[in-house]
Structure 1
């Protein structure tokens, strides 16, 4: 699977597995904290199921992504200038692990503590995911970035399964262990933080950083930050030269707005609309992660065969079908179908987007362009959940209408995908 036709010269297979292991590490965080457990726990217990609870959760998520939006372009540009992505990745990992562990101390009424820990952990996750993605063009040949990206996403979902499986075991055995519901939820946070920390170790030990520093001599942090802001402005100004990357950023913003809703509010929707318990939701998300892993792995090969644009378009159509099923589901089988459609499209759409960014980014500015890409995704992570939360607040918790509004983001993303020309974009990146 890993040969000279897939990997860049000098890249060893164990480096790719170490790089993929970071996806394994952070997937447990999104799966347990943002998707399956803590979001619903926050709404029902921490915020006491108040009418504003869902909106409050979306505000916290929006705040964490807004902070990431401000920090990441600076960090990305500094990482490029100094060729020290691994140093910043280590700091981001510490923030994510510490914040996740801190959630174990949250309970009824601890809204402020929960908000601080979610913001800290999600900033760490966002920054780490961006820097990890920036290694992709260093390890994979351009014609194989889809395949290698798919390996990372599929292995990442395996990490989600490990963390989620351990959490599910703890929750289902809580009575036998003499644990209250609050203690069981706290235990899942400890499990998630531990898996994250252990699985992140290989990337710091095995992966070699091949970027060449662009900053000569010794510069102060202040001068690097100033240069970083200039590079962000330069990236925005030069989008007319990289118009296909610009269209991709818009497309990513639109579909990630919808995906962010699914990630951060699916457990809330399942509980409020379908009457799911914590155990029901954990089991559902566990099986969906299997679907997502298969989807990411299969689509990784498919997108290199049929083309990244066509593969991404296919996943966006699947997202539209998923929204329709979820919005009109009155029975559990139809909702399970919707959830598995989401799993099938989740990893594939994000993997395809990451591969397309790798193709359309100038080689010497990969972290900078990935930062800009993730900046659009973080704006989406603010807009999407807030749109959903606002609809539920205004309509008195009409979650079905809120999920239908989410579907509009996916329809618009298909329209934004149409103008992209990958060959033209690759030529522009080469210049």
Structure 2
């Protein structure tokens, strides 16, 4: 492990950095993927035909806020050397607003939408900031491995939160409780675990960046310069376009998985929780294994392999009429999910100038959040316009992986790394 670390970085610091992935994965697993999304459609939206579109639209608003602010927040963090402080603020905001989602229920649509938007905005901001630490912690030839360790530990964190919720739901259902009673408790469990598990990050992770001269501390001026110089970073820009496409497909799968399982496959809440629990195990294994593979065969071939896996998964879900094929497809998605997200973060770390990590990971965050609008909205609109055909909506969403593969073929990582180091 030590041979993978940058000079002066200690093992406990890598663990503390990866623990943030562990901590925040409970939010995406429980709130976005496994529990709260289906609860939003069935209980908060009271099963109305527009429920799925309301869910995807709410997420779209939160992602739009991240798109508008991410590069500016990143540029400010670089200029003032305050990545860690801003990470703390975003974490506190996400924990508080997640806990407030316990108030969600029938007749509380506006309140639920408000706290969902705020919690997801804070989550997305923190996700960008923690990623900006990666190039400071790992050597260039180990970015894939170290990124994979973080994603792998992150999925274990998702398992912990999901496992705690699954245990509570099993007990609550045995007591005759309804979703309106046990889902708010699951939300509080998720917020508490996020707060506890992220504590090592703020105790042990160091802020290594140095404040820039006062004349260069204007966040808007720094971001404007990046836009003017975009042509110098054409491989990064091409990769960000690629990211928008393939992450759109991933975002649709993540945010609609529980809804698809409920509406198409007839899964109960407990069945869905168990499915996501198992998928998180395969995702953790995929992140670690493919992270190692990235540093052996290269980032681009590894990412291409995972995108082919995503296409296979979409085809299997479209064909699935029973639980066996659906379970197989879900586990392929798990393997590809950890791998593709880990690979994307490592590639941006390779292509970003060393003195502007927060800003460029903010651009990456913009791309990811734009995809998180496009993918679920495409699914939601396709589902609505087709009269509730979830299978067709999933098939249409799969086209994003094809576009991602085509754009990835135009990216040259060696050229992009030279451009980053020359900045």
- TM-score strictly above 0.5: yes
2:61 corresponds to which residue?
A: 63
Report deviation, 1:183: 1.8
1:220 corresponds to which residue?
A: none
Q: CA contact under 8 A between 2:161 and 2:189: conserved in structure 1? A: yes
Deviations 1:201-242 (A, max 9, x none): 11110011110111338xxxxx95xx3223223223322111
1:165 has 2:163 as partner: yes
1:270 corresponds to which residue?
A: 261
Question: What is the SS of the residue equivalent to 1:211?
Answer: coil
What is the Cα-based RMSD across aligned positions, in Å? 1.2
Q: Could you tell me how far apart the structure 2 residues matched to 1:213 and 1:115 are?
A: 37
1:351 corresponds to which residue?
A: 342
TM-score, normalising length: structure 1: 0.96
1:184 has 2:185 as partner: no
Q: Could you tell me how far apart the structure 1 residues matched to 2:285 and 2:89 are?
A: 31
Instruction: Count matched residues.
Output: 422
Q: CA contact under 8 A between 1:51 and 1:396: conserved in structure 2? A: no
2:17 corresponds to which residue?
A: 19
1:397 corresponds to which residue?
A: 388
Q: Could you tell me how far apart the structure 2 residues matched to 1:355 and 1:198 are?
A: 27
Question: What is the SS of the residue equivalent to 1:174?
Answer: helix
Equivalent of residue 199 in structure 1, options 189, 197, 200? 197
Please list every run of at least 4 consecutive aligned residues from structure 1 whose deviation after the TM superposition is greater than 3 angstroms: 175-180
Q: CA contact under 8 A between 1:155 and 1:293: conserved in structure 2? A: yes
1:88 corresponds to which residue?
A: 86
Equivalent of residue 38 in structure 1, options 33, 36, 39? 36
Deviations 1:279-316 (A, max 9, x none): 11000000000000000010110100010000000000
1:324 has 2:315 as partner: yes
Q: Could you tell me how far apart the structure 2 residues matched to 1:416 and 1:32 are?
A: 32
1:413 has 2:404 as partner: yes
Report deviation, 1:178: 6.1
Q: Choose 374-383 or 14-23, whichever is displaced more.
A: 374-383
Q: Could you tell me how far apart the structure 1 residues matched to 2:320 and 2:93 are?
A: 38
2:98 corresponds to which residue?
A: 100
1:334 corresponds to which residue?
A: 325
Gaps of 5+ in 1: 218-222
Report the CA distance shift for 1:91/1:240 in structure 2 as closer, same or farther (over 3 A). same
Q: Choose 32-41 or 172-181, whichever is displaced more.
A: 172-181
Equivalent of residue 238 in structure 1, options 217, 220, 229? 229
Q: Choose 232-241 or 357-366, whichever is displaced more.
A: 232-241
Q: CA contact under 8 A between 1:8 and 1:140: conserved in structure 2? A: yes
Q: Could you tell me how far apart the structure 2 residues matched to 1:28 and 1:381 are?
A: 18
Q: Could you tell me how far apart the structure 1 residues matched to 2:220 and 2:381 are?
A: 32
Deviations 1:338-376 (A, max 9, x none): 110110000100100100000011100111111011101
Equivalent of residue 145 in structure 2, options 144, 147, 158? 147
Correspondence list, 1:353-368, <5 A = 353-368=344-359
Q: CA contact under 8 A between 1:174 and 1:181: conserved in structure 2? A: no
Report deviation, 1:273: 0.7
Gaps of 5+ in 2: none
1:427 corresponds to which residue?
A: 418
Q: CA contact under 8 A between 1:99 and 1:121: conserved in structure 2? A: yes
